[in-house]
Amino acid sequence: MQLGMVGLGKMGGNMAERLRRAGHEVVGYDRSSPKRDVDSLPGLVEALSAPRVVWVMVPSGEPTRATVKELSELLSPGDVVIEGGNSKYTDDQVHDVLFREKGLGYIDAGVSGGVWGLENGYALMVGGSTDDVAKVQPIFDALKPPAPQDESGQEMPGAGFVHAGPVGAGHFSKMVHNGIEYAMMQAYGEGYELLAAVDLIEDVPGVVASWTQGTVIRSWLLDLLVRALDEDPTLEKIRGYAEDSGEGRWTVEQAIENAVPMPTIAASLFARFSSRQDDSPTMKAVAALRNQFGGHAVQAVRAQEAEKPA
C-alpha cells in the first residue's frame, strides 16, 4: 500500500521505516529532514496515486492544525488523512467537519511506542468511520506489534490496536493512556526516592531490577527505569524537572467535566508542576505561616541567592 508521511522525526521516521520493511511504499516529507523524498506538501500529494492516504506526524497544536488545513485544500474526494500526533480530541472533531464537507476521510490515531516502536511495533488507538479505517487497515496492521498467540497457536485479537469509536475517540483514548502513564511514573519515582533515602538499602538499582520478574508491579516502564539506573545508578546526571505534553492536563479536565474522581492522576500532574520550582512559593507561605502562629524557625535565603537578579 502507498502512504504519504508528513513528519520524519523520531516517531514519524521510524514509522516510515517499519512500513517500508513490511513492503509498503512510503513517500516522506519533512520541512528539515534530509530523509525527505519530496520538498513540499503539494509535491507529496502529487507523488501519491489516488485515492491517497497521508499520515500526519508533526508536533501537536498549531503545526498540526496548519498541516491538516493545507492538506484539506490539496487532496481530492476519497483521500484519507490519518492524524497521529498528540492532539486534543476536540481538534479532531473540528477537522472532521472540514474534511467531510470536501468529501475527504479523517482518522485520528493515538500512537504509543516511542523510540522502541520501530522494532517492537506501535500500540494504536484510532477514531474514524468504519469505512475509512478499513481503507487503511493494512497500514495499521504493519505498525502494530505482533499479535500474541493462544495455546493453539492462533493469533489473539485486539492486542496493540483498537478502533475505539468515531473521530476523536483515538486521541481521547491516548489522552487517558498518558494520564495513567503519568501516575505510574510518579509511583515508580516515589518508590525509588524512598529506597535511596534510607541507609538500610545498599543496592537501590538491584532492588528495582528485582521487581521486574514475578511481581505485580512489573511493566515496561519499570524495565526502562532499570535501564536508566544501569546507566546512572544515582540519577545524578539528570535534573529533577519534568515537562508535561498536555495529555495529563486534558485527562484531568475531562475528569472534572464528567465528575470522575482521578486523585492519583491529578496528583502526578501537579507533581510535575512542582518539579519546575527551584524554591516553591507555596512552601514559602507555609513556612511563614508556621513561624507566625507557632514561632517555628524559618530558613533565611542565603546571601548569594538573595543577590540573584530577578
Round to whole Å and give the CA distance between 266 and 179.
8
Contact between residue 47 and residue 37 where contact means Cβ atoms under 8 Å apart: yes
Question: Which triple of cell numbers denotes residue 126?
Answer: 484510532
Q: How far apart are the first and last CA of the chain?
A: 57
Q: How far is CA 18 from the centre of its chain?
A: 19
3 residue type, one letter: L
Residue 236 among the catalytic residues: no
Catalytic residue among 69, 181, 236, 257: 181
Coil/strand/helix, residue 140:
helix
Task: Return the ∠ at Cα 62 (arms to 58 and 64), rounded to 5°.
Answer: 30
> What whole-number distance in Å separates Cα of residue 245 and Cα of residue 24?
31
| Residue 154 · residue 94 · CB < 8 Å | no
Q: Is position 181 annotated as part of the catalytic site?
A: yes
Strand order across the 161-165 sheet: 25-29, 2-6, 53-56, 80-83, 105-112, 123-127, 161-165
Q: Which of 88, 135, 144, 174 is catalytic?
A: 174
Burial of 306 (0-12, 13-18, 19+ CB in 10 A): exposed
For residue 248 the three cell numbers come to 495529563
**4 and 29 Cβ atoms separated by less than 8 Å:** yes
Q: What residues act catalytically?
A: 174, 181
